[in-house]
């Protein structure tokens, strides 16, 4: 891995400055069944293609943001600061 990532604060930086927290997951709203809970905690889609991920600029401004990355080519299509309200709207 040696690509660049656009930090929403700092601009393009070496990927080594960041840590990746994996695909974006959605936390159940209500008390989940055991199956729903384990699937939320342990299961990931692991796609070969574009996926949304959490990234943290650990050796920089320490901001969390989301990136859309193609897991096959490591091409980063976009990065943005996550807006929960927007996600809520998208879900509807």
Chain positions contacting another protein, by CB under 8 A: 1-4, 14-15, 19, 21, 27-28, 31-32, 34, 37, 40-42, 54, 56, 58, 62-65, 73-74, 81-85
Cα–Cα dist 91/70, whole Å:
23
Burial 53-72 (b: 16+ CB within 10 A, else e): bbbbbeeeeeeebbbebeee
In whole angstroms, the minimum distance from the beta carbon of 54 to another protein comes to 7
In whole angstroms, the minimum distance from the beta carbon of 78 to another protein comes to 16
Q: Are 71 and 49 in contact (CB under 8 A)?
A: yes
Give the nearer residue to another protein in terms of CB position, either 62 or 92. 62
Give the nearer residue to another protein in terms of CB position, either 4 or 47. 4
């Amino acid at each position: 891995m040696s690509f660049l990532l656009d930090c929403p604060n700092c601009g393009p930086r070496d990927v080594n400055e960041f840590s990746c927290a994996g695909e974006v997951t959605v936390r159940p709203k209500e008390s989940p069944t055991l199956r729903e809970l384990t699937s939320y905690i342990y299961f990931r889609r692991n796609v070969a293609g574009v996926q949304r991920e959490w990234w943290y600029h650990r050796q920089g401004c320490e901001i969390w943001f989301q990136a859309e990355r193609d897991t096959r080519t490591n091409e980063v299509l976009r990065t943005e600061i996550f807006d929960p309200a927007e996600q809520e709207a998208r879900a509807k």
